[in-house]
């Protein structure tokens, strides 16, 4: 018999604090206060990351778009990224007229393989995007060294890595610029929304101008843009929710790690099961606990989906390789990127998930392993 209560794979943690700030923004955040919560949100995130500059945007995709545009990415250029990703990272590259170059992933972190990234560099390479997947972190030391060697900027897509730390440095703070997502599925949410961060003052000014329809900061001539820009601003009401979330960020990230740790303790010793990597010196922000089943178990994505559905539990599939999508050329030589999604699943991990609910999730996995 199917259990009555449904276990969702994710949902945000919203308290009276978020409601009160959003209400204040709706009632009072107009006129000369129309950017008050946006400015505060940017400042809180800068402090959290330890970076100099931040620009709140309507999405992480928008932040990537204006950042890549400011770097001059355009027609005929190439941008290297992992084949295992959501299309949101590739879309701005295509929209700017450039080509995403998909390379294979590491088998343990599921992030871009630095050796393949370096091998893919050509005279047309304009950037490397390091996407921190499911809270796992890319090999940033190697990628940054490659970027320095060839004079190519390394960009961090940290949409899924709020709370992740690489040898003392927070995800998103190490590359030429970093981007974040505050979609309703993320550890910190504004409903929809994103953020661009950098320590480069010239890049910041360029992106700030692009983000405001090409109007430069300090321009005194009204409605006078310097260039054709974009409209990717976050609203003041969204930012108000974000300010409340940032005041709770330690609580939010700690809770995600508690959920991840319980899954790891219960699953990591099972035969043929592996979960998100957390090597020495790394803190995994645990946005999305993910299990990968060894080939010899014979467990497939379709079996996992059916088993969880039977128990009224939501479980997300592992990202399909981007090169398998119809709009791109298939690169079957990206062997790991094509293999892992066939035998992996994302587990429920919202903040209010109880241990009893986690035990239900774990029970599905054990039943598949030991049946």
Q: Do residues 134 and 344 make contact, with C-beta atoms less than 8 angstroms apart? A: no
Return the residue matching tokens 């940290």: 158
277 vs 19: which has the higher pLDDT: 19
- Averaged pLDDT for residues 347-361: 97
Helix, strand, coil tally for the chain in percent (to 5): 40, 20, 40
Q: Pick 249-370's CATH classification: 3.50.50.60, 2.40.128.110, 3.30.390.50, 3.90.1150.10.
A: 3.90.1150.10
- Averaged pLDDT for residues 165-171: 98
Q: What is the pLDDT of residues 16-67, one digit of tens each?
A: 999 999 999 999 999 999 999 999 999 999 999 999 999 999 999 999 999 9
- Going from the C-alpha of 115 to that of each of 86, 146, 329, the distances in angstroms are 21, 9, 21
% of residues, the chain, pLDDT over 70: 99
Compute the distance between CA of residue 129 and CA of residue 150 in angstroms, rounded to an integer.
Answer: 14
Q: Check whether 220 has a pLDDT greater than 90.
A: no
- Averaged pLDDT for residues 102-130: 98
What pLDDT is recorded for position 162?
A: 97
Residue 225, both tokens: 């843009």
Q: What is the pLDDT of residues 39-51, one digit of tens each?
A: 999 999 999 999 9
Q: Do residues 23 and 243 make contact, with C-beta atoms less than 8 angstroms apart? A: no
Half-sphere exposure of 137 (CA within 13 A, CB side): 27
What pLDDT is recorded for position 371?
A: 77
Annotated domain spans of the chain: 16-247, 249-370
Same fold, 16-247 and 249-370: no
What pLDDT is recorded for position 3?
A: 59
What pLDDT is recorded for position 1?
A: 57
Q: Do residues 290 and 347 make contact, with C-beta atoms less than 8 angstroms apart? A: yes
Compute the distance between CA of residue 371 and CA of residue 359 in angstroms, rounded to an integer.
Answer: 17
Strand, helix or coil for residue 21:
helix
- DSSP string of 312-349? TB--EEPPPBGGGSTTS---TT-HHHHHGGGGEEEPP-
Distance of CA 53 to the CA centre of its chain: 19
In what side-by-side order are the strands of the sheet with 273-275?
273-275, 290-293, 344-346, 316-317
Q: What is the pLDDT of residues 80-105, one digit of tens each?
A: 999 999 999 999 999 999 999 999 99
CATH number of 16-247: 3.40.640.10
What pLDDT is recorded for position 2?
A: 59
Quick one: pLDDT band at residue 218, thresholds 50, 70, 90?
confident
End-to-end Cα separation, the chain, in angstroms? 18
Residue 323: which of 338, 313, 341 has the closest Cα? 338
**Given the DSSP bridges, would you call strands 154-157 and 177-181 parallel, antiparallel or unpaired?**
parallel
Residue 353 φ/ψ, nearest 5 degrees: -60, 130
């Amino acid at each position: 018999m199917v259990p009555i209560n449904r276990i969702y794979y994710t949902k945000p943690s919203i308290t009276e604090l978020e409601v009160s700030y959003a209400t204040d923004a709706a009632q009072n955040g107009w006129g000369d206060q129309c950017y008050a919560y946006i400015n505060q949100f940017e400042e809180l995130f800068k402090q959290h990351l330890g970076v100099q500059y931040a620009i709140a945007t309507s999405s992480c995709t928008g932040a990537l778009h204006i950042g890549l545009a400011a770097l001059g990415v355009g027609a005929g250029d190439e941008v290297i990224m992992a084949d295992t990703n959501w299309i949101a990272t590739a879309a701005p590259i295509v929209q700017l007229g450039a080509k995403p170059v998909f390379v294979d992933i590491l088998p343990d972190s599921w992030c871009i393989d630095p050796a393949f990234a370096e091998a893919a560099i050509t005279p047309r390479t304009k950037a490397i995007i390091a996407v921190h997947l499911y809270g796992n972190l890319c090999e940033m030391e190697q990628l940054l060294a490659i970027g320095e060697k060839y004079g190519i900027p390394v960009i961090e897509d940290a949409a899924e890595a709020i709370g992740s730390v690489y040898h003392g440095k927070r995800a998103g703070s190490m590359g030429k610029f970093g981007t974040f997502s505050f979609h309703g599925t993320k550890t910190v949410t504004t409903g929809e929304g994103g953020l661009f961060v950098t320590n480069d003052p010239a890049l910041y000014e360029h992106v700030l101008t692009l983000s405001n329809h090409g109007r430069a900061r300090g321009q005194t001539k009204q409605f006078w843009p310097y260039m054709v820009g974009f409209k990717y601003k976050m609203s003041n009401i969204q930012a108000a929710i974000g300010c409340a979330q940032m005041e709770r960020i330690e609580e939010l990230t700690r809770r995600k790690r508690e959920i991840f740790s319980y899954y790891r303790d219960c699953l990591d010793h099972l035969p043929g099961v592996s979960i998100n990597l957390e090597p020495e010196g790394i803190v995994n922000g645990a946005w999305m606990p993910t299990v990968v089943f060894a080939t010899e178990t014979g467990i497939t994505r379709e079996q996992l989906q059916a088993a969880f559905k039977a128990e009224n539990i939501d479980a997300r599939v592992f990202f399909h390789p981007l090169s398998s999508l119809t709009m791109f050329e298939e690169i079957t030589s990206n062997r790991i990127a094509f293999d892992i999604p066939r035998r992996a699943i994302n587990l429920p991990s919202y903040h209010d998930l109880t241990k009893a609910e986690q035990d239900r999730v774990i029970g599905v996995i054990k039943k598949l392993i030991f049946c």
